[in-house]
Structure 1
Amino acid sequence: MNTLIIDDEPLAHEVLLHHSRAHADIEIVGQCYNAAEALAFLAKLPVDLILLDIHMPVLSGLDMLKVLLGRPQVVLCTAYQEYALEGFELDATDYLLKPVSAERFAQALDKVRRRAGETAIPVEPVASSHIVIRVDRAYRKIELDKVQCFEAYGNYVKVWLEDTCLLTAATLKYFAETLPSDRFIQVHKSFLVNKDKVVAQDREKVRLAGEKLVKIGNAFRRNLVGLWQ
């Protein structure tokens, strides 16, 4: 579970790093010391879990959550218990008071794992004509004939539609195994395309109806054989 620590106190980082080492499924992929730095980090690398302080300069942890899109699970770590209600209203998984003990940290991670298990398959195939995906905290019905392609994006997948792009917490492998193979083919390790949206093809790439270009991976060239037959 890729995890980001956000706290303006270096000592707090050390405590959380120490506790995290006891949990093999927790990988600390980043450490930020203010909300602005964290938002920039998350724009490049989405994560599964944020360990977040509340009192930070300029932008508080709670204010950061209010503007964060595609929010992962969040465990608030703070010395101030009076913000607990607001934290849970923002859908925080747990609320830890500093100094954070190893036992209490482990309990919070158990909650994180349970919630992750409840949403382990965030995309539900409903019928051959559409799917339902989770976007932020809501579910969206997507007509398959409007999908250009699916693109792997870290721990997420970008769903490219005719006029927009949606981000959902899923894997490309899940889409490849769930969607009808006669309509969607994998052409690259990071791309699954709608066959009906392919308007041009050469050895290196395919062009989709919306003019989006997608590279063809060597291991997937055979999937394009007889594309228009």
Structure 2
Amino acid sequence: MVKVLIVDDEPLAHDVLLHYIKEHQEIAVVGQCYSATEALTYLAHHQVDLMFVDIKMPGLSGLDMLRVMANKPQVILCTAFQEYAIEGFELDVTDYLLKPVRAERFAQAIEKVRQRILSASSASERQSLILRVDREDRKLWLDSIECFESYGNFVKVWQDQQCCLTNGPLKALAEKLPSEDFMQVHKSVLVNKAHIIARDTISLTLKSGRKVPIGKSFKADLADLW
């Protein structure tokens, strides 16, 4: 559920937004404030996911309120004045609605909110691996790694055309990787399944164009790859 706070000095503006919000069951209005100062007091004790904010209000303006906030939720500015749009987007607002707000335009703004939520969720779920590289611990995103290749007492970590070396055997590294995403295709090679774009009887082609060999004892494991 997306928790919403409405901040506008005009009661009619609240009524319009409440009317549109009723059409979106995933949104719940948890607070209504009629000034920026009142909103800041509310936010000091409550957490919200989205704010609808008017710009011109008595005392502190909506833009000034956003400037003093350290951690802002998503914000949709609702105003009768289009000349503040650039300032609004410089403050990373999700959308800028001109009054009177139209239903289809409101729906578009809510879709932008959904997309930001999905993007943030994907980012938070992104898996990483900490490896010792060049005498330092380095965080590498697993989805950016196309393959691991044994190289003496080291392992080459390939990301597109870039490569770095980490200490240790390939077998120990394989035990740290999610088996649903990575598979061993040769005694010296582990590949990211999502990076495989083609295969023949002796090799795999990865997105970067790199070809890696298929070991005879691993061919059976590739039978159900696609």
TM class by shorter chain equals 0.5 to 0.7
- Mapped to 1, the partners of 2:54 and 2:117 lie a distance apart of 21
One-letter code of the match for 2:80? A
> What is residue 10 of structure 1 aligned with on the other side?
11
1:145-180 deviation line (CA, Å, top 9, x unaligned):
xxxxxxxxxxxxxxxxxxxxxxxxxxxxxxxxxxxx
1:109-188 matched pairs, under 5 angstroms: 109-121=110-122, 123=124, 126-127=128-129
Give the deviation of 1:102 after TM superposition: 1.1
1:44–1:128: structure 2 CA closer, same or farther, 3 Å change rule?
Answer: farther
Once residues 23 and 51 of structure 1 are traced to their aligned partners in structure 2, the CA distance between those partners, rounded to angstroms, is 15
Q: Distance in 2 between matches of 1:15 and 1:92?
A: 20
Q: What residue ranges of structure 1 are gaps of 5+ in the alignment?
A: 133-229
What SS does the aligned partner of 2:71 have? Answer: coil
Separation (CA, whole Å) in 2 of partners of 1:6 and 1:74: 10
Which residue of the partner structure matches residue 211 of structure 1? none
Provide TM-score, normalisation by structure 1. Answer: 0.54
For residues 47 and 123 of structure 2, what CA distance do their matches in structure 1 show?
16
Structure 1 moving runs of 4+ over 3 Å: 121-130
CA distance in 2, matches of 1:27, 1:40: 20
- The amino acid across from 2:99 in the alignment is K
Partner of 2:98: 97
Name the counterpart of 1:36: 37
The separation in 2 between residues aligned to 1:69 and 1:100, in whole angstroms, is 28
Paired residues in the alignment total 132
- Alpha-carbon offset, residue 105 of structure 1: 0.5
Match of 1:46 in 2: 47
Per the alignment, residue 82 of structure 1 pairs with: 83
Deviation at 1:101, TM superposition (A): 1.1
Kindly report the root-mean-square deviation, in angstroms, between the aligned alpha carbons of the 2 structures: 2.0
SS at match of 1:77: strand
Matching residue's letter, 1:2: K
Aligned to 1:60: 61
Task: Report the alpha carbon displacement of residue 125 of structure 1 after superposing the two structures with TM.
Answer: 5.5
User: TM-score by structure 2 length?
Assistant: 0.55
Offset at residue 126 of structure 1 (A): 3.6
Distance in 2 (alpha carbons) for counterparts of 1:112 and 1:77? 15
1:83 to partner: Cα distance? 0.2
Q: From the superposition, tell whether residues 4 and 122 of structure 1 become closer, same or farther in structure 2 (CA, over 3 Å).
A: farther
Q: Percent identity at matched positions?
A: 59
**Distance in 1 of aligned mates of 2:42 and 2:127:** 32
**What one-letter code is carried by the residue in structure 1 that aligns with 2:119?**
E
The amino acid of 2:72's aligned partner reads R
Q: 1:36 is matched by which residue type in structure 2?
A: T
2:20 equivalent in structure 1: 19
Paired residues for 1:217-228 under 5 Å? none
- Where 2:89 maps in the other structure, the secondary structure is helix
